[in-house]
């Protein structure tokens, strides 16, 4: 009879992938383990249909997961595209989750780094094969368009997970496992045999978000698993399915490799009876990873003292438009960044700072209003075809976002109004709203206006635009910044100003690269230097503080 | 005219030292850059006399430092050996310190990693040449014996500083400074030029301690400087001089290399008007490093939210005595660890857990009382010679410690009483107090009893001894743990138990290696896994979160 592969065999199976990931992290040039084209040539002729069928088969029933339900199952996900999912999940009990995690913890902590990496990499490989199913799950919980849901919810999330495993591997490998220490001392030599044990912090609580449930959770999940922590995943109540699928696959791989499946547990909850606070305050929790609202992020910062907290909240992402070497290409690029997933990305621009006197472009000097009109026209053009508009904009995850769009219409002069997408049926949709405001009106643009809402901010000149944009990034937080400029001195000042403000900067993007995108193995996501969050995907801090080394020395 | 060397030239001067340090950190075998023998062959024929003369010349006057005094100078250091130092220091003003630090910050942050490392390594090299002066300063502020003050206050502290520079260098070198990112996209290739800027957190506040002012401050100081933060050093009011000397040397090197000396500032205060809280809460502070009492550590944890906090407080360090392969050698080793600097080391053992039925030894079975008597006798023997006793025990830094010794005599049965050292003149001294207690009496031994106070704890058996010791380490904190045992199964269990509790473990030490010692480039000091502190000297966490990388990408 065929035995399932051991964890060590899984490591050997995926060792080359890990080594390539480590090399990519060193070089920081483009690399990806998981193809991001939803192509039948790559994923198989029937992959798309199979993924959709698997998704349809899940609808209207209990999600198949081997965790006990403490009371009636829960779940009320409704697709922003209009479909009621009707899937239910086990109702968790905090103490039962923690007890199960504790029972599972010791074997996982004491497994070899190779065994844990092998299991983590096998989970990622299987998730990759399930990318079409995950794409449907992400699409119908977040409202993303299908291609984006496939890419961001599937391969790009998997790449970020792999990146975390590789970073964890690098940190675990920093010290030798043992060494002989010999100190000359006069006529004698003092000799000790030393070992270093990597001790995980304990139970990792991962609190997911409603817009990028897998992309934002995988780094925390896979970093935690790789260094030996067991994980409890608390998804957003509106986006449970993508993480339930992830947990199911993780548990299957764990069980096959001979481990306790409770090393990864799902803890779904409801908006009426949320459990994140109770879980986060449980003394058994060693790390908390949170992606979501600034309000809950602040609550966690104020209240979680016993565990290491990693956060990604939100910022007000600036664009400084000082000049355009290619006006049309700039506007097309910005139009896409503003429209993509209807501005519901933490990386989407919100505040476009433009000199009142206008800017120099390849088409001559353009006034503030001309620049504004060109951007609006580029959005109209991008979204002219209804099918393309749906694919780019997706649907609106939360009804509150539509209300916010309506409210923000009053904040200034409307340059381009928001409207539902044509031919979108029951879907909840909205195209970008562009509002022109004066630079002094920080009350309008100085906070995050989540959704398809952007401000065209009339500044005295380019220097004031840069100064305001950088100051606001530092004070209110920013996850991205963009700059269009031609003066190299100004560009150099902007690089320094945004870097000091902790805002990763994209300069003069045109064509098919967008400020919203954050590439695994190359870009660092969130700097930790401004209020947008304290956790960087994926730097040494993100993995190294999930465990600590302890020295053991013994007389030789 | 000879120009002073540039910072880059300083880097070239010390590059080999940095590379050796990096190699030592990889191998974790013994290495040291700065010889720890106070020998005339190494440091020069007149070094000892010169150091003492330089120390004497400082007594009774204002300390020569180019910082303004905001009001009357302060300083009331009195040597635990009996000498009144009479040295005064500039009285600081919080806002003036912060303003000066801010003015100095930009140039330092924007200097190259090589320039900063060059300056840091030159400061360390000069401090090394001043080791005899520093030894006198440390001896007459902390009460350490001369040899210990030389080693721990001089070369060992310098090694820890170098270790921090090397770790910072390794972290700064993790990413390339620039890379070309090329992603194939169908018929075209997307190309970006990327850079990564290392952005320091801001102003580093370093709060020193009274017992190891240099050893505990140098890692924070040199890690902060190396990654680009400017530093404000707030010494303990009883141990200002060693850090004032450090600041003076740092400022001299900075000035010679063309930098603003306010990159490193001294902020001395008095017990009557402490300034640590106000400084720590200042919004300009980016990191706070603290070594000292658990009470102030907790205050910082509760109140410092805007800055990254690194702490080393205290623990109750256990010894489990399950068996002795060499009874005399074990007792001699423990006697030294208990006597060294009169138990005023954060690494000194406090709680010795011994089975009620006694232990097997190479001299046959020994009862609990026999083990206790052997340890007491070993202390008596170690301290029989008055000169040697003074060298080993040093003096008592704080009068409160003498009161604590007196109080603790009532906590159990006195096995060995504490007494002043003979022939110690005006010095404040005390030999170790050994008190026998029952295992259930956690009220006696369950908290830190700082000073020459140790408990012999009668446990049911070795397993209970281990279980109690490990649990207490996890719950109350421990910076070291020691084990004497011969059963390999028991040793394996103890390794796991103490590692999980975050207590670095020393097994069966005899001879000239002691559990109190923590070697740079090899041992990790404080695990961050128990209440003894959150900062580990010197792991990736200790340096990586003093700065963050920010990505800049530009269309190619």
3-state secondary structure B99-141: HHHHHHHHHHHHCCHHHHHHHHHHHHHHHHHCHHHHHHHHHHH
* Assigned token pair, A275: 């459990």
CB < 8 Å to B183, chain A: 30, 519
The answer to whether residue A423 scores a pLDDT higher than 90 is yes
- What pLDDT shows up at residue B152? 98
- What's the pLDDT tens digit per position in A81-92? 999 999 999 999
Verify that A478 and A544 share a domain, yes or no.
no
Checking if the pLDDT of B182 tops 90, the result is yes
A433 plus A545 within the same structural domain:
no
Residue from the list A179, A199, A511 with its beta carbon closest to the beta carbon of B500: A199
Whether B113 is covered by a domain: the verdict is yes
Q: How far is CA A50 from CA A46, A55, A157, A451, B542, in A?
A: 6, 8, 21, 32, 49
- Strands A453-459, A433-438: pairing is parallel
Take residue A347 and report the two structure tokens written for it.
Answer: 């990386």
Cβ contacts of B92 within 8 Å, gap of 6 or more: B67, B70, B265, B266, B267, B268, B269, B275
Chain centre distance of CA B181: 43
Instruction: Please report the pLDDT score of residue A5 as a whole number.
Output: 80
Taking the mean position of all CA atoms in its chain, how far away is CA B297?
15
Q: B3 falls in which pLDDT band (50, 70, 90)?
A: low
Domain at B134, CATH number: 3.40.605.10
- B5 — pLDDT class (breaks 50, 70, 90): confident
Residue B492 sits at the chain A interface (C-beta within 8 Å): no
Q: In which residue are the tokens 């080999």 written? A: B16
Q: Report d(CA B88, CA B242) in Å as an integer.
A: 13
CATH of the domain at A393: 3.40.309.10
- B539 and A548: CB-CB below 8 Å? yes
Q: What's the structural domain count of chain B? A: 2
CA dist., res. B379 & res. B336, Å (int): 7
Return the number of CB contacts < 8 Å for A and B.
Answer: 201
Helix (H, G, I), strand (E, B) or coil at A531: coil
What secondary structure does DSSP assign to A52-82, as a single string?
A: HHHHHHHTTSB----S--SSS-B---B-TTS
User: Do B171 and B265 belong together in one domain?
Assistant: yes
Q: What's the confidence (pLDDT) of residue A535?
A: 97
Same-domain status, B261 and B330: no
The mean per-residue pLDDT over the stretch A380-385 comes to 98
Is residue A172, in this structure, part of any structural domain at all? yes
Per the CB < 8 Å rule, is B30 touching A539?
no
Q: Which of A166, A522, A530 to mutate to test the interface with B (most CBs of B within 10 A)?
A: A522
Residue A527, domain member (yes or no) = no
Q: Which residues pair with B62 in a beta bridge?
A: B88
Determine the average pLDDT of the residues in B89-114. Answer: 97
Are A523 and B551 in contact (CB < 8 Å)?
Answer: yes
Measure CA A373 to chain center. 32
Q: Work out the average pLDDT over B146-170.
A: 98
Residue B519, in any domain of the structure: no
Q: Note down the domain range covering A501.
A: 318-507
**What's the pLDDT at B351?**
98
Q: Which of A182, A511, A536 sits opposite B29 (nearest CB)?
A: A182
pLDDT class of A3 with cuts at 50, 70, 90: low
Asked if residue B327 and residue B264 are part of one domain, the reply reads no
Q: Are residues B122 and B248 in the same domain?
A: yes
Q: Is residue A513 part of a domain?
A: no
Say if residue B2's pLDDT is above 90.
no
Give the B window 427-486 contacts with A, CB below 8 Å.
none
Residue B553, chain A, CB below 8 Å: the answer is: yes
- Rounded alpha-carbon distances, angstroms, from residue B234 to A549, B266, B408: 29, 6, 32
Q: Are residues B331 and B222 located together in one domain of the fold?
A: no
Whether residues A265 and A239 fall in one domain: yes
Q: Which residues pair with B351 in a beta bridge?
A: B318, B455
* Same structural domain, A307 and A252: yes
Residue A133 within any structural domain of the chain: yes
Dihedral angle of Cα B217, B218, B220, B222, to the nearest 10 degrees: 150
Q: What is the mean pLDDT of residues A392-405?
A: 98
Residues A244-272 pLDDT 10s = 999 999 999 999 999 999 999 999 999 99
Dig out the tokens for B313 from the structure: 């407080």
Look at residue B530 and tell me if it is in a domain.
Answer: no
Of chain B, the percentage scoring pLDDT greater than 90 comes to 97
How far is the C-alpha of B250 from the C-alpha of A533, rounded, in Å?
A: 34
Q: What angle (nearest 5°) sits at the alpha carbon of residue B500, between those of residues B498 and B501?
A: 60
Q: What is the mean pLDDT of residues A345-373?
A: 98
pLDDT in tens, B236-275: 999 999 999 999 999 999 999 999 999 999 999 999 999 9
Token reading at B124 = 């360390």
Mean pLDDT to the nearest integer, A122-147: 98
Question: A177: how many CB neighbours lie within 10 A of its CB?
Answer: 13
The average pLDDT across A282-291 equals 97
- When comparing pLDDT for A305 and B331, which is higher? B331
Q: In B, residues 294-313, which contact A (CB 8 Å cutoff)?
A: 301-302, 305
Averaged over B357-385, what is the pLDDT?
Answer: 98
Indicate the residue of B194, B199, B527 with minimum beta-carbon distance to A522: B194
pLDDT at residue B229 greater than cutoff 90: yes
Based on the domain organization, do A93 and A178 belong to the same domain? Answer: yes
What digits encode the pLDDT tens for the residues B413-468? 999 999 999 999 999 999 999 999 999 999 999 999 999 999 999 999 999 999 99
Q: What is the CA radius of gyration of chain A?
A: 25
Please give the mean pLDDT across all residues of chain A: 97
Kindly state whether residues B340 and B382 are assigned to the same domain.
yes
Of B240, B220, B239, B238, the residue nearest B230 (C-alpha): B220
| Paired residues of A169 in beta bridges | none
By CA distance, what is A481's nearest residue in B? B552
User: What number of other Cβ atoms are within 10 A of residue A303's Cβ?
Assistant: 12
Q: Which residues of B touch A28 (CB under 8 A)?
A: 175-176, 179, 181, 194, 196
**Residue B4 binned pLDDT confidence (cut-offs 50, 70, 90):** confident
Query: Which of A172, A499, A518 to mutate against chain B (most B CBs within 10 Å)?
Result: A499
User: Hey, are the CB atoms on A194 and B522 less than 8 Å from each other?
Assistant: yes
Same domain, A297 and A350: no
Q: Let me know if residue B15 belongs to a domain.
A: no
Residue A186: the pLDDT is 86
CA angle B306, B310, B316 (to 5 degrees): 135
Interface of B with A in 159-198 (CB under 8 A): 171, 174-176, 179-183, 185, 188, 190, 192, 194-197
Residue of chain B whose alpha carbon sits nearest to that of A170: B174
Average pLDDT, stretch A206-232?
A: 98
**How far are the Cα atoms of B338, B352, B391 from residue B418, in angstroms, in the given order?**
12, 17, 17
Are the C-beta atoms of A359 and A369 separated by less than 8 Å? Answer: no
């Amino acid at each position: 009879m065929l035995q399932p592969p051991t964890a060590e065999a899984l490591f050997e199976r995926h060792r080359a992938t890990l080594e390539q990931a480590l090399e990519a992290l060193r070089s920081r040039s483009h690399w990806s383990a998981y193809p991001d084209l939803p192509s039948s040539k790559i994923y198989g002729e029937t992959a798309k249909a199979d993924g959709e069928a698997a998704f349809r088969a899940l609808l209207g029933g209990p999600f198949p997961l081997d965790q006990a339900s403490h009371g009636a199952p829960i779940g009320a996900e409704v697709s922003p595209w209009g479909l009621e999912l009707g899937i239910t999940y086990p109702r968790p009990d905090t103490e039962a989750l923690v007890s199960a995690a504790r029972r599972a913890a010791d074997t996982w902590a004491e497994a070899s780094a190779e065994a844990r990496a092998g299991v983590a990499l096998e989970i990622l490989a299987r998730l990759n094969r399930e990318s079409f199913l995950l794409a449907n799950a992400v699409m119908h919980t977040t409202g993303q368009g299908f291609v984006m849901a496939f890419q961001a919810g599937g391969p790009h999330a998997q790449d970020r997970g792999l990146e975390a495993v590789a970073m964890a591997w690098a940190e675990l490998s920093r010290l030798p496992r043992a060494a002989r220490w010999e100190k000359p001392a006069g006529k004698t030599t003092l000799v000790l045999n030393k070992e270093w044990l990597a001790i995980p912090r304990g139970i990792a609580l991962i609190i997911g978000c409603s817009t990028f449930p897998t992309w934002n959770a995988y780094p925390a999940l896979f970093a935690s698993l790789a260094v030996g922590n067991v994980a409890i995943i608390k998804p957003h109540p509106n986006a449970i399915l993508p993480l339930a699928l992830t947990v199911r696959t993780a548990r299957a791989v764990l069980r096959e490799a001979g481990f306790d499946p409770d090393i990864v547990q799902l803890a779904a909850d409801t908006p009426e009876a949320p459990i994140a606070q109770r879980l986060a305050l449980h003394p058994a929790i060693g790390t908390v990873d949170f992606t979501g609202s600034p309000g809950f992020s602040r609550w966690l910062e104020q209240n979680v003292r016993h565990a290491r907290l990693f956060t990604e909240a939100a910022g007000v992402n600036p664009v400084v438009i000082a000049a355009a070497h290619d006006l049309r290409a700039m506007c097309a690029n910005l139009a896409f960044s503003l429209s993509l997933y209807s501005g519901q990305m933490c990386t989407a621009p919100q505040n476009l700072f433009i000199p009142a006197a206008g800017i120099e472009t390849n088409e001559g000097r353009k006034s503030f209003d001309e620049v504004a009109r060109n951007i609006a026209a580029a959005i109209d053009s991008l979204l002219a075809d209804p099918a393309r508009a749906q694919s780019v904009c997706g649907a609106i995850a939360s009804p509150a976002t539509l209300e916010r769009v309506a409210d923000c219409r009053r904040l200034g002069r409307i340059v381009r109004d928001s409207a539902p997408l044509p031919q979108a049926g029951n879907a909840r949709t909205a195209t970008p709203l562009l509002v022109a405001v004066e630079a002094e009106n920080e009350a309008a643009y100085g906070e995050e206006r989540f959704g398809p809402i952007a401000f065209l901010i009339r500044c005295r000149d380019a220097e004031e635009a840069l100064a305001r944009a950088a100051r606001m990034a530092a004070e209110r937080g920013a996850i991205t910044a963009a700059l269009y400029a031609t003066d190299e001195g100004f560009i150099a000042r902007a690089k320094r100003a945004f870097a000091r403000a902790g805002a990763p900067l994209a300069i003069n993007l045109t064509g098919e690269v967008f400020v919203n995108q954050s590439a695994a193995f190359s870009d660092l996501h969130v700097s930790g230097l401004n209020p947008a969050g304290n956790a960087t995907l994926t730097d040494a801090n993100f993995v190294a503080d999930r465990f600590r080394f302890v020295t053991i020395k013994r007389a030789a």
